[in-house]
């Protein structure tokens, strides 16, 4: 298997992801800010929020947009139930006026963003959320919690698939993460190039191919290794993958091949989960070939990350199962994204740029932004161009004049979710989009060592409006 494809099962394909209310997956200050804005009369002011990263985390060379489909589902489910309203009332989180607003809350604004799967860089406007302050402010924590995790996992997955050089990678991380994070990680890993998961919930919700056969406990359950392998083959067929390192690897390989042939076929694969994987892979390959099992593949697991996968590049390995390092972002568990107000309606009804002025690298750039990627004549990405403009036409014209490929798409249009950006087909499209986006990047982007961002980000303000201190 070398590419992800959604399930062909018509029943599964028609399944819609449903979730309970997401409205309390937020920080208290979102609602207390809402209360204050309702009291001051500013809650209805038109506002533009931006989700972006000031820098790439941990000297990563590029980021990967992931979580878009999950966020759209979560926004649809962002409504306040009677039980939630009662909780907020009983605990005194907000006053009655605010509760009245929340009872009828539905997001009716507009959201644009980088298409899922696109690579991104420092200052890239991954999401632009437009609406009243009241509507857009309270989505902050929800959007950040999804994007910060999913983008981190997708970036790790992308680095791992770069290191794998076309050999398939499968998510084995469910047991190493929170149970819901495991599902999110499986989805994000597909965006980054993984082709399967061990997690059945992710398989159901997103149509990701599921993978799994047996663990050491299955072998230990039986009186002999031969009995365990025979039982597995009888149940799953000779093309199954057998874990051969419970006792002695060489003996396990011989017994696994014998069990498959006794059932009338050739063994599908052996799995190695311990020891020096490079050395063991060479020895096992030689043994399999000597036994005439030339079609039997080798898959390896055992706490892999991109560097371990790269080290296995010369070894006769056919696929990788990745767990802990995938679901923890391979050392970078968050994408370090923020959500900031960049434009709002003034007292006179005109839109004004606003920005945070701060020392320590925490200042922000005001204004609604339009983003594109400039390519060389050879088709290699050279620069991320971000244009501040209140006018979409002017912003897009500036990108066109610079020869930049536009990066943002419409995700929510006046409260209506654009369906093509969520669901199983959207995930498949995101995986393909990432392959194309990554292929555009210069060679340095593919290096696994920490370093500078692969692309510089250039910002221009064509309105001549700049945020001021007040």
Per-residue pLDDT tens over the stretch 432-470? 999 999 999 999 999 999 899 999 999 999 877 665 555
Alpha-carbon torsion angle 247, 251, 254, 256, nearest 10? -10
Share of the chain above pLDDT 90, in %: 90
Share of the chain above pLDDT 70, in %: 94
Which CATH architecture fits 10-154+332-461? Alpha-Beta Barrel (3.20)
For residue 22, name the pLDDT band (cuts at 50, 70, 90): very high
Q: What is the per-residue pLDDT across 206-215, written as a single tens digit (0 to 9) for each?
A: 999 999 999 9
What b/e sequence results for 56-68 when a residue is b if at least 16 CB atoms lie within 10 Å of its CB, and e otherwise?
Answer: bbeebbbbbbbbb
Fold (CATH) for 213-317: TIM Barrel (3.20.20)
pTM value? 0.94
* pLDDT value, residue 361: 66
* pLDDT value, residue 355: 87
**Does the structure show a pLDDT above 70 at 353?**
yes
The H or E element containing residue 243 is strand 241-243
SS3 77: coil
For residue 157, name the pLDDT band (cuts at 50, 70, 90): very high
For residue 11, name the pLDDT band (cuts at 50, 70, 90): very low
Do the first three CATH levels of 10-154+332-461 and 213-317 match, i.e. the same topology? no
Domain ranges of the chain: 10-154+332-461, 213-317
Residue 78 CB contacts under 8 Å (≥ 6 apart), including other chains:
21, 22, 23, 105, 107, 139, 142
- The mean of the pLDDT values for the chain is 94
Q: Among 149-163, 233-247, 456-470, which is the least confidently predicted range?
A: 456-470
- Strand 169-171 to 319-322 pairing: parallel
For residue 56, name the pLDDT band (cuts at 50, 70, 90): very high
- Strand 408-413 to 110-114 pairing: antiparallel
Residue 383, both tokens: 């620069």
More confident residue, 358 or 320: 320
**Does the structure show a pLDDT above 80 at 359?**
no
CA distances from 47 to 32, 68, 160, 354, 425 (A): 18, 21, 39, 10, 32
Question: Residue holding tokens 């031969």?
Answer: 226
More confident residue, 202 or 390: 202
**Does the structure show a pLDDT above 80 at 205?**
yes
Residue 189, both tokens: 């890993």
**Does the structure show a pLDDT above 50 at 12?**
no
For residue 400, count other CB atoms closer than 10 A to its CB: 12
- Average of per-residue pLDDT across 153-175: 98
Question: Residue holding tokens 């051969």?
Answer: 244
Q: What span, in angstroms and rounded, lies between the C-alpha atoms of 366 and 389? A: 10
Q: What span, in angstroms and rounded, lies between the C-alpha atoms of 180 and 178? A: 6
**Does the structure show a pLDDT above 70 at 49?**
yes
Ramachandran category for residue 181: left, alpha or beta (phi over 0 → left; psi -120 to 50 → alpha): alpha
Q: What span, in angstroms and rounded, lies between the C-alpha atoms of 182 and 169? A: 16
Q: Among 15-29, 262-276, 309-323, 438-452, which is the least confidently predicted range?
A: 15-29
* pLDDT value, residue 269: 98
Could you tell me the sign of the dihedral formed by the alpha carbons of 248, 275, 170, 324, in that order?
A: positive
Write the DSSP string, 63-75: EE---HHHHHHHH
- Strand 196-197 to 169-171 pairing: parallel
Give the residue ranges of DSSP H helices in 165-224: 179-191, 200-206, 216-221
What b/e sequence results for 216-226 when a residue is b if at least 16 CB atoms lie within 10 Å of its CB, and e otherwise?
Answer: eebbeeeeebe
The H or E element containing residue 102 is helix 96-103
- Strand 127-132 to 196-197 pairing: unpaired
């Amino acid at each position: 298997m070398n590419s992800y494809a959604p399930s062909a099962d018509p029943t599964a394909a028609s399944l819609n992801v449903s979730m309970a209310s997401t409205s309390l997956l937020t920080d208290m200050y979102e609602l207390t800010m809402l209360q204050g804005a309702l009291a001051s009369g500013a809650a209805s002011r038109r506002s533009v929020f931006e989700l972006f990263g000031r820098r790439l985390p941990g000297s990563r060379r590029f980021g990967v947009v992931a979580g878009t489909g999950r966020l759209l589902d979560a926004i649809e489910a962002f409504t306040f139930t009677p039980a939630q309203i009662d909780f907020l009332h009983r605990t005194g989180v907000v006053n009655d006026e605010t509760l009245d607003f929340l009872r009828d809350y539905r997001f009716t604004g507009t959201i644009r963003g980088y298409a899922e799967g696109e690579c991104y860089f420092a200052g890239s406007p991954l999401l632009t959320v437009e609406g009243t302050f009241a509507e857009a402010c309270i989505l902050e924590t929800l959007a950040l919690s999804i994007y910060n995790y999913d983008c981190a996992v997708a970036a790790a997955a992308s680095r791992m698939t770069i290191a794998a050089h076309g050999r398939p990678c499968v998510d084995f991380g469910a047991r190493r993460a929170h149970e819901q994070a495991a599902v999110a990680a499986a989805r994000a890993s597909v965006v980054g190039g993984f082709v399967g998961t061990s997690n059945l919930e992710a398989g159901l919700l997103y149509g990701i191919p599921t993978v799994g056969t047996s663990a050491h406990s299955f072998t230990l359950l039986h009186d002999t290794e031969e009995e365990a392998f025979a039982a597995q083959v009888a149940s799953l067929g000779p093309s199954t993958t057998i874990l051969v390192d419970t006792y002695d690897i060489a003996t396990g390989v011989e017994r696994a091949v014998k069990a498959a042939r006794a059932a009338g076929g050739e063994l599908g694969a052996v799995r190695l989960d311990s020891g020096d994987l490079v050395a063991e892979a060479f020895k096992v390959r030689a043994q399999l070939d000597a036994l005439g099992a030339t079609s039997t593949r080798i898959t390896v697991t055992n706490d892999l990350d991109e560097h371990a996968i790269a080290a296995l590049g010369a070894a006769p390995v056919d696929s990788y199962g990745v767990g802990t390092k995938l679901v923890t972002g391979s050392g970078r568990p968050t994408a370090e994204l923020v959500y900031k107000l960049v434009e709002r309606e003034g007292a006179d009804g005109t839109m004004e740029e606003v920005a945070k002025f701060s020392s320590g690298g925490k200042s922000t750039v005001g204004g609604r932004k339009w983003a594109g990627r400039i390519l060389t004549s050879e088709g290699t990405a050279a620069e991320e161009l971000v244009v501040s403009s209140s006018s979409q036409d002017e912003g897009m014209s500036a990108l066109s004049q610079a020869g930049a490929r536009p990066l943002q798409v419409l995700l929510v249009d006046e409260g209506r979710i654009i369906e093509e950006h969520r669901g199983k087909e959207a995930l498949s499209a995101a995986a393909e989009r990432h392959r194309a986006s990554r292929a555009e990047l210069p060679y340095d982007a593919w290096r696994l060592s920490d370093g500078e961002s692969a692309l510089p980000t250039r910002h221009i303000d064509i309105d001549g409006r700049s945020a001021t201190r007040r």
